[in-house]
Amino acid sequence: MEKNYYVCTGCGMLCDDIEVESEKNIINKVYTACRIGVAHMKDGKESAVFRVDNKPVDEATAISEAVAILKNAKNPLIFGLGTCSDETQELAIELARKTSANLDDTSSYCLGKVIEALLNNKFKACTLDDVRNKADVSIFWGSDPSDSHPRHLSKHSYFPRGTEKQRGWEEERTAIAIDVRKSHTAKICGNYFFQIPPGGDKEFIDALIAALAGKLPKTSYNFPPKRILELANILKGAKFGVIFVGLGLIYSLEDLEPLIQLMNALNEKSNFHLVPMVVHYNMRGFNENLFKETGYVNSVKFEDGTVKHGPEYSIVESLKAKTVDAALIIGSDPLSSLPRSISKNLLEIPTIVIDPCETLISKKAKVYISTAISGVESGGSATRMDGVKVDFKPVIETKRPSDEAVLKKIMEAL
Amino acid sequence: MDFTSFLKAPEINVKIVTYRDIFQDKAMIENRFGEEYRNLSAVIKLDPSDFKQLSVKKGDSVILKNSFGTVVVIAEESGYEPSHKGIAYMPSSPWSNMLVSDETGGTGVPRFKDISVTVASAKGQKVTELES
Ligand code: SF4
């Protein structure tokens, strides 16, 4: 019997081996997915919600109010899109052009720099399938997939018996964690857990580069040099190594230069690749789609046919400086994910929120439209954390419009 | 007469590192306004020596303060070794975000994983509710 597999859009891994049992557009059982994936796939809701000023309205009223906000704004902010399909993202980019908007996504304050460097070929990349089939050394640096990408170790990076790794983790794979705390992933790594103090990553990188060159590795926090030398030896011997880069590492570096130097040093001795631990299922897609259009991955401002770019156009800086006078937020909740000291400024401007879930910002929005969950109730395409394109179809139907359909209506009415 | 009532509750400075937690993430997907999400988010994980200094027990409320905000959360033991006195851990959430500085140096990136606060006992006080 041919099986019907679905894609899970619960995180940037986009697992494509999910089976479900559903009846009357309710998903009763989800097989193969992790805890996050199951909760995500069962989150569908039948009925749509359209609100203006927290009062229920019909769809047409909500759309026309959203259009009025965008028309009146001199410098609207369009933000979010990490949990939207490529098709929705492309429409949002077009909408930003049309409304001379400031366009940004969560990558401006998480892994955007890394994706940009990857798109500019500053790091050697590989796919998760390569990892499954070939990787013998995986380093989780400031990342904890056991919590953020729960099937990462079992599906790709450690436990599977890939085509060239039939003896699996017992004999042929080494998993290493470098982190400030003993995360669940660090526990799996056992003796290969290297605990460094908060902010100690840059020094650890320098020490590791020294050790790779046969010099004595030193850190101001007196990390035992013997252990760094041991680590360097394992890395030198790797046939197919991967660093899975997480926010713990990125937030502690001022720029990517130390990481680029480490990757270069590693690739003089062995064969190392880098994969960013992207959380939102299509954040990388947004970065790639915007890069294709503008040459930048985030933080842009469209104006008179030109594109400006810089941190001043990021959500954080534009809210801080109060340069934006309205916001269209799609599939994201800045009131929850940004410092309140910054996101509170959103409460001073009219906001349009398009999101499958009620969030802190949807409750404060001038206009709220609840949409289908992308990947559960609507289909499309996306880019996995490693850059691989994945198409997905809806699992069930809903009366809620897709975010793509809503953006189309807004565009037409403008 | 209870003299301890004249003593100010001890206060300590800690640096908070935030992290992701799968159970908390799952609770958020199911209901971000629910009790489970709050119970798994509004917590701070402290070193045993910091517990001692604060004279609080695990499960007690503590108040976290800095110039950006104030939140009441539950103190839990981190279970991490070795000792990490002065460093505490919180899952990333609206509660930790109430304490994150707006200083970014113009980079667009807040210091989510590097939060300085004072901690003091808030025995009997209720955990801060998400305003909705
Ligand atoms: S690891 Fe990510 S994509 Fe895979 S099932 Fe879990 S949430 Fe879904």
Question: Do A59 and A84 fall within a single domain?
Answer: yes
Separation of A155 CA from ligand 1 center, angstroms? Answer: 10
Q: Which atom of ligand 1 is nearest to the CA of A150?
A: 1
Task: Give A301-360 pLDDT, tens digit per residue.
Answer: 999 889 999 999 999 999 999 999 999 999 999 999 999 999 999 999 999 999 999 999
**Separation in Å, CA of B39 to nearest CA in chain A:** 16
Percentage of residues of chain B with pLDDT beyond 70: 93
Residue that is last in its domain, among A242, A276, A310: A276
Q: Does residue A26 form part of some domain?
A: no
Q: Count of CB atoms within 10 A of residue A160's CB?
A: 18
Nearest to A182 among B17, B80, B112 (CB): B80
Q: Write the DSSP string, B11-24.
A: EEEEEEEEE--HHH
Minimum distance, in Å, between the CA of residue A91 and any CA atom of chain B: 25
Q: How confident is the model at residue A84 (pLDDT cuts 50, 70, 90)?
A: very high
Q: Identify the domain boundary among A246, A276, A306.
A: A276
- Is residue A364 a contact partner of residue A335, using CB atoms and an 8 Å limit? yes
- Judged against a pLDDT cut of 80, whether residue A180 lies above it is answered with yes
CATH number at residue A242: 3.40.228.10
Q: What is the ipTM of this complex?
A: 0.92
Decide: residue A317, CB within 10 A, 0-12 exposed, 13-18 middle, 19+ buried: buried
Looking at the structure, do residues A260 and A286 belong to the same domain, yes or no? no
Q: Distance from the CA of A9 to the center of ligand 1, in angstroms? A: 7
- A70 and A121: one domain? no
CB atoms B110 and A150 under 8 Å: no
Closest by Cα among A271, A205, A264, A261 to A237: A271
- For residue A76, give the DSSP letter: E
CA-to-CA distance for B26 and B33, rounded, in angstroms?
13
Q: In this complex, do A182 and B81 lie within 8 Å of one another by their Cβ atoms?
A: yes
Mark whether A182 and A243 lie in a shared domain.
yes
Same-domain check for residues A321 and A218: no
Residues A117 and A254 in one domain: yes
Cβ of B33 under 8 Å from any chain A Cβ? yes
User: DSSP label at A107?
Assistant: G
Task: Tell me whether residues B17 and A198 touch, CB distance under 8 A.
Answer: yes
Rounded to a whole number of angstroms, the CA Rg of chain A reads 22
Of the pLDDT bands very low, low, confident and very high (cuts 50, 70, 90), residue B81 is: confident
The CA-atom distances, in angstroms, between A84 and each of A12, A31, A67, A102, A284 are 12, 23, 20, 18, 11
Average pLDDT value for residue range A378-384 = 97
The answer to whether position A401 is within a domain reads: yes
Backbone φ and ψ for B114, nearest 5 degrees, come out as -145, 80
**A84 occurs within a structural domain:** yes
Tokens of B126: 């209720």
Do A53 and A118 belong to one domain?
A: no
Contacts of A250 (CB under 8 A, 6+ apart): A110, A111, A113, A114, A142
CA–CA separation, A13 and B79 (whole Å): 30
Q: Please count the residues of chain A.
A: 414
Question: Does residue A17 belong to any structural domain of this protein?
Answer: no
pLDDT for res A170: 76
**Chain B residue with the nearest C-alpha to that of A255:** B107
C-beta separation of A33 from A400 below 8 A: no
Structure tokens at B31: 């209901």
**pLDDT surpassing 70 at residue B6:** no
Q: CATH number of the domain that A320 lies in?
A: 3.40.50.740
Which tokens belong to A59? Answer: 């769809």
- Classify each residue of A57-91 as buried b or exposed e, where b means 16 or more C-beta atoms within 10 Å of its C-beta: beeeebbbbbbebbeebebbbbbbbbbbbbbbbbb
- Do A99 and A116 lie in one domain? The reply is no
Asked if A179 and A217 sit in the same domain, the reply is yes
Q: Go through the domains of chain B in sequence order and give each one's CATH number.
A: 10-121 (2.40.40.20)
A221 and A132 share a domain? yes
> Given the DSSP bridges, would you call strands B115-121 and A137-141 parallel, antiparallel or unpaired?
unpaired
A276, A305, A327 - which closes a domain: A276
Check if the beta carbon of residue A31 is closer than 8 Å to that of residue A42. Answer: no
**Structure-block tokens of residue A73:** 């704004």
A266 shares its domain with A299: no
Number of domains in chain A: 2
User: Do both A159 and A260 map to the same domain?
Assistant: yes
In a domain, A142, yes or no: yes
Cα–Cα distance measured from residue A77 to residue B97, given in angstroms and rounded to the nearest whole number:
21
Predicted confidence at residue B132, as pLDDT, reads 52
User: What pLDDT, in 10s, does the model give residues A99-109?
Assistant: 999 999 999 99
The CA dihedral of A391, A396, A402, A403, to the nearest 10 degrees, is: -60
pLDDT-wise least confident of A132-141, A242-251, B72-81: B72-81
Average pLDDT, chain A: 96
Please report where in the chains the tokens 């989510």 appear, as a residue: B112
**Side-chain-facing half-sphere of A289: CA atoms under 13 Å:** 26
